[in-house]
Amino acid sequence: MAILPIKTNPYYVPDLADFSQRSFWVAAVSIIFNPLFWNFTAQNEYRHKTITKLLGNRPYYGCYLLGASIFLLGILRDHLYNQALSKQPINGYLALPFVKYFGGLLILAGQVLVISSMYALGVTGTYLGDYFGILMPHIVTGFPFNVVSDPMYFGSSLSFIGVALWYAKPAGLILSVLLSIVYVVALKFESPFTAEIYKKAAASSSSKATTKKRTSNATSQTTTPAKRGRKKKTAA
């Protein structure tokens, strides 16, 4: 009687990850898609005002709509991430109690950074209001921006790592690294573009102030002789 060969999964790495699981790749696609979506949508809005026009030239409504979309996509991404981890192997070293507690601390720290940055920026500041022409009156320099320059992205990355450690899933660490890379790439586009928005706004404000000052001086020079003439006529 012939012995049938045991089928092995070439995409399964013991104690690391099962790359044959569809949920892993779905989570990876979601992680990559979200920043691409909001960067493309926001930059298109800045150049063409597509959302604002669709909503009757109401930029605040447009910002709220984009913000709601980003928020819901974030919830979906987190759900897909947790679903992916549920089908991944556990690593014995990561299952040690102190690793789990450390993961819990990372989750807590990450959420503090995310929530506090949202509180400091407000809804429009958090959800790309500057691309709709809704600019912050000043640069936020208090907590958590005095700790890290991009607390929302950094905090989100910490939370992902923390969840991976909490459940002792190395596959979660792989997805967390992917998330961090995606955020770094996104910042390469976001930071210069946002800086350019505020630079143009400052230049426009300065130009308007100069024009207003010149107009005021011209008006003053025009009315002064007339006032003098009236004074002379009264004196006569």
Residue 236 covered by a domain = no
Task: For residue 230, tell me if it sits in a domain.
Answer: no
Residues making up the annotated binding site are 108-110, 190-191
By residue range, what is the domain housing residue 193?
A: 12-210
- The percentage of the chain sitting over the pLDDT mark of 70, rounded to a whole number, equals 83
* Structure token digits, residue 163: 């969840």
Average pLDDT over residues 191-211: 74
Distance CA 22, CA 28 (A): 10
**Does any domain span residue 17?**
yes
pLDDT interval class at 4 (50, 70, 90): very low
Inside any domain, residue 173? yes
**Residue 232 confidence (pLDDT):** 41
Q: Do 139 and 166 form a contact (C-beta atoms < 8 A)?
A: no
Mean local confidence (pLDDT), 94-113: 97
Burial of 123 (0-12, 13-18, 19+ CB in 10 A): middle
How far apart are the C-alpha atoms of 211 and 104, rounded to whole Å? Answer: 57
Pair 40, 128: CB distance under 8 Å = no
- Nearest Cα neighbor of 107 from 84, 124, 82 is 82
* Helices and strands, number each (H, E), in the chain: 6, 2
What's the DSSP call for residue 132? G
User: pLDDT band at residue 231, thresholds of 50, 70 and 90?
Assistant: very low
Please determine, for residue 220, whether its predicted confidence score (pLDDT) is greater than 60: no
Tally of domains in the chain: 1
- Whether 223 is covered by a domain: the verdict is no
Give a yes or no: residue 51 inside a domain: yes
What pLDDT is recorded for position 193? 81
Instruction: Pick out the residues of the known binding site for S-adenosyl-L-methionine.
Output: 108-110, 190-191
Q: Which residue has the tokens 């505020």?
A: 198
Reported as a single tens digit per residue, the pLDDT across 141-198 is: 899 999 999 999 999 999 999 999 999 999 999 999 999 999 999 999 888 888 888 8
Domain assignment present for residue 217? The answer is no
81-102 per-position pLDDT tens digit: 999 999 999 999 999 999 999 9
Q: In this structure, is residue 104 part of a structural domain?
A: yes
CA–CA dist 190, 145 (Å, integer):
17
